[in-house]
Amino acid sequence: MAPKSASARVPAPRWRRRAEARPEEILEAALAEFTAKGFEAARMEDIAKAAGLSKAAIYLYFPSKMALLEALIEAKVSPLAHQAATLAAAGQADPLTALRMLSTAIAALMADPKVVAVPRLVIGVCGRFPEIAEYYRVQVVAKARGALEQLIEAGVAGGKIRKVDAAAAVRAFIGPLLFEAMWTHVLKGETALNDPRKLIEQQFDVLLNGLEPRA
């Protein structure tokens, strides 16, 4: 996560880093606190303490609490957007296998609370910050959905996948993972995400073959 050296093409965001490692540490701490207590309930002082700084020092890096939230969300977008972009291209040849591998990877990621933290945060916050909802919808979820739909459609076109509604298929693919992630991280239920391979195997048994008894 080395600071990508200013990169003059992209106009430096308002919360531009002034030191090397600090911003990362602060964001880390902020994410932890936001996740644990929610955006409103999280206190700058606790974030500062967790980051090993004084409360005032945070303001050297981020102009406000809100900026922290924005930085946090944005920081997770580029990776995701990028992955989504490459995904569609990469898996065209063998969509089902691609989906299976992808699923397993996602399931494994979702076992990590930190990965789920930002989406959870967005859920909790988008009520009063609609811009964030929109940003997340457009920049993250819509992109991911699009990429997956393309994959499905490619599979259908290539005869590898039965002719189904792509959107429905994407929901069938992502929904169960979302559900298990919520169960695990929100409700603190016993998770099936610990064994991603097994989870995906069971899920794909249903997903690929359906519930109907075969002749």
Partner DNA sequence: TATGAATGAGTCTTCATTCAT
Partner DNA sequence: AATGAATGAAGACTCATTCAT
Q: CB within 8 A of 64, min separation 6: which ones?
A: none
Q: Does 204 bind DNA (CB under 7 A)?
A: no
State the residue for tokens 């064994």.
Answer: 195
Q: What is the DSSP-derived secondary structure letter of residue 73?
A: H
User: Which residues lie below 8 Å from residue 30, measured CB to CB, with a gap of 6+?
Assistant: 42, 47, 51, 68, 69, 72
Residues 30-89 that bind DNA (CB under 7 A): 41-45, 48, 53-57, 59-60, 63-66
Query: Shortest gap between Cβ of 188 and DNA (angstroms)?
Result: 23
Q: What is the dihedral of CA 115, 140, 81, 38, to 10 degrees?
A: -30
- Per-residue binding string, a copy of itself, 69-108, x by CB under 8 A, is ---------------------------x------------
Smaller CB separation from DNA, 57 or 174: 57
Give the separation between CA 28 and CA 25, rounded to whole angstroms. 5
Nearer to a copy of itself (CB atom), residue 105 or residue 168:
168
Given a copy of itself, DNA, none, residue 56, with its beta carbon under 5 to 8 Å by kind, binds DNA
Cβ neighbourhood burial of 96 (10 Å; 0-12, 13-18, 19+): middle
Backbone phi and psi for residue 59, each to the nearest 5 degrees, phi listed first = -70, -10
C-alpha dihedral over 39, 40, 44, 45, to 10 degrees?
Answer: -120
**Is residue 194 near DNA by the rule CB under 7 A?**
no
Selected binder of a copy of itself within 50, 101, 115, 141 (CB under 8 A):
141
C-alpha–C-alpha distance, residues 149 and 179, integer Å = 20
Helix residue spans in 42-94 (DSSP H): 44-51, 55-61, 65-91
Stretch that binds a copy of itself, among 14-22, 39-47, 63-71, 79-87 (CB under 8 A): 39-47
* Of 53 and 126, CB closest to DNA: 53
Residue 203 binding a copy of itself, by CB under 8 A? yes
Give the footprint of DNA on this chain (CB under 7 A): 13, 15-19, 22, 41-45, 48, 53-57, 59-60, 63-66
Give the footprint of a copy of itself on this chain (CB under 8 A): 35-41, 96, 120, 122-128, 130, 133-134, 136-137, 141-142, 155, 159-162, 164-165, 167-169, 171-172, 174-180, 182-183, 186-189, 192, 199, 202-203, 205-214
